[in-house]
Amino acid sequence: MNIASRIKDIKAQLPTGVRLVAVSKFHPVEALREAYDAGQRVFGESRAQELSVKVPQLPQDIEWHFIGHLQTNKVRQVVPLVNVIESVDSLKLLRLIDSEAARAGRTVDVLLQLHVAQEEAKSGFAPAELLDVASSGELDGLTHVRVIGLMAMATFTDDETVITGEFAQVKDTFDTLKKGVMAANAHFAEISMGMSDDWAIAVKYGSTLVRIGTAIFGAREY
Ligand SMILES: *Cc1c(COP(=O)(O)O)cnc(C)c1O
């Protein structure tokens, strides 16, 4: 199968309301163009430098999502290029995105990254910590970011019970926020979870954005 047919195949399986983020990191611009020509408009990149090189080479109606760990010294570079920063893993980063977005004269949509996986290396807020942050009022004064939902990654494992438990935890946390402190925030509606190997499980647990790389573009060459 080629890129176009893989995209078509995945999209045919996604329920209405679930969007596909084509994760194009480490793949050349030609591969992204092939996806674009197949109708794909949402792309995910994880490195500031690579994003900066790719964006000017591709059509302007692409919706770019930043999905990697964002270093504070790269925020200024990334903010003007993206529609959504999915990987906000600290309040410090969130505040910096807010001030850089103000400086750039725009508003950036963000997802707060939840740490539910067993791997320590994955970043994000612990669920309890996120509930604390959200109810502390710390998100209220931000003027140039819109918190539109949560993002998470499951543990890299074949054990479906582990993955299922983690996605369920994300959904629970989202629901708690949605019914509680985020109730008045109509924009708070997205759950980004599910990758090439676990997106079907993620969708069952309420994912609205699946981030799929390998299953579209093939293996990455690092
Ligand atoms: C690379 C990456 C993906 C895509 O992973 P695949 O297994 O290639 O589908 C999704 N989310 C994040 C945060 C990533 O870094």
Give the tens place of pLDDT for each residue, 106-158.
999 999 999 999 987 779 999 999 999 999 998 988 999 999 999 999 999 99
The pLDDT of residue 35: 98
Residue carrying the six token digits 């030609």: 30
Index of the ligand 1 atom closest to the CA of residue 197: 7
Listed as ranges, residues in the chain with pLDDT below 70 are none
User: Is residue 213 in contact with ligand 1, taking CB distance under 6 Å?
Assistant: yes
Q: Give the Cα separation of 152 and 165 in Å (integer).
A: 13
Q: State the distance from the centre of ligand 1 to the C-alpha of 4, rounded, in angstroms.
A: 19
How many angstroms is it from 14 CA to the middle of ligand 1? Answer: 17
How far from the centroid of its chain's Cα atoms is residue 135's Cα?
22
Ligand 1 neighbourhood includes 123 CB (under 6 angstroms): no
The CB of 154 under 6 Å from ligand 1? The reply is no
Q: How far is the CA of 105 from the centre of ligand 1 (A)?
A: 30
**pLDDT for residue 121:** 77
137: buried, middle or exposed (CB in 10 Å: 19+, 13-18, 0-12)? Answer: exposed
Q: What is the pLDDT of residue 140?
A: 87
Q: Quickly count: other Cβ atoms within 10 Å of residue 182's Cβ.
A: 19
pLDDT tens by residue, 51-60: 999 999 999 9
What HEC string does 102-126 produce? HHHCCCEEEEEEECCCCCCCCCCEC
Burial state string for 35-65 with b = 16 or more CB within 10 A and e = fewer than 16: bbebebebbbbbbbeebeebbeebeeebebb
- 209 pocket-lining for ligand 1 (C-beta < 6 Å): no
- At 22 the pLDDT is 98
- pTM, rounded to two decimals: 0.97
Is the minimum distance from the CB of 212 to ligand 1 under 6 angstroms?
yes
The structure tokens 């390998």 sit at 214
Atom of ligand 1 nearest to the CA of 196: 9
